[in-house]
A and B are shown apart, each in its own frame.
Chain A
Amino acid sequence: QSALTQPASVSGSPGQSITISCTGTSNDVGSYNLVSWYQHHPGKAPKVMIYEANKRPSGISNRFSGSKSGNTASLTISGLQAEDEADYYCCSYASGASFVFGSGTKVTVL
């Protein structure tokens, strides 16, 4: 399984919205609505922000939203805040009862 494709970096000013894309194939993102997004601050456990493409776990701000179309999933962060600065990874369930991760996107708040 090849890694899902994400932009290496995305930046925005406080209050702005940013969107991170995650492109896979018909063997993963395109076949399953089982796309999740993780926020990772180095040294800490990754935290799930979105699951099943567009669902937010309890306790996650509604500034985070997800969508999926075809082989591409997206994470949008609205009202960007300093605390959102982190690495973000997408993940998709894939054929063969496996998972495949995205290459990771570093979000910088200017």
Chain B
Amino acid sequence: QVQLQESGPGLVKSSQTLTLTCAISGDYLNNYNTAWNWIRLSPSRGLEWLGRTSYKFRWSFDYALFVESRITFDPDASKNHLSLHLNFVTPDDTAVYYCARGSDTIDVWGQGTMVTVS
């Protein structure tokens, strides 16, 4: 059974960098047959796909256009963790952040972690 567990600081100040981590169990971050996504949910904008990473001999990254100048993913296959770094956060980045598995269909989600930017 695949489980994803997000963790992070909960509260971040404006202009700082937000770092979240997704711990994966029951699958492997470097599984050739899937991808790992970050998605967020806010009352004002609903669900927003932020990007994904996948591994086929090397890591590849696809980021949503609206956030690509501020975001990076950092996969650590040795720990089976995927980290998200979002720079220069503003209150608009306040949301529940989810880690999710899937390359053409997202089939497994974590419970999410709430992030408030003040």
Contact = CB atoms under 8 A, between A and B. Distances in A.
Contacts of B112: 45
Contacts of B107: 48, 51, 57
Given A45-B98, A45-B110, A98 B105 contact: no
B49 interface: yes
Contacts of A52: 105
B11 interface: no
A97 B49 CA distance: 11
A57 B2 CA distance: 15
A72 to B, nearest CB: 18
Contacts of B48: 101
B109 A34 contact: no
A51 B46 contact: no
B47 A48 contact: no
B16 to A, nearest CB: 26
A30 interface: no
Given A1-B64, A45-B98, A45-B111, A99 B106 contact: yes
B83 to A, nearest CB: 19
Contacts of A22: none
B62 A97 contact: yes
8 contacts: A38-B109, A46-B98, A51-B105, A51-B107, A57-B107, A98-B62, A99-B52, A101-B46
Interface of B: 37, 39, 45-49, 52, 62, 64-65, 98, 104-107, 109-112
Given A89-B46, A104-B46, 11 more contacts: A1-B65, A36-B106, A43-B111, A45-B98, A45-B111, A91-B47, A93-B104, A98-B62, A99-B52, A102-B46, A102-B47
By Cβ-Cβ distance, the 3 closest A-B pairs, closest first, are: A101-B47, A99-B49, A45-B109
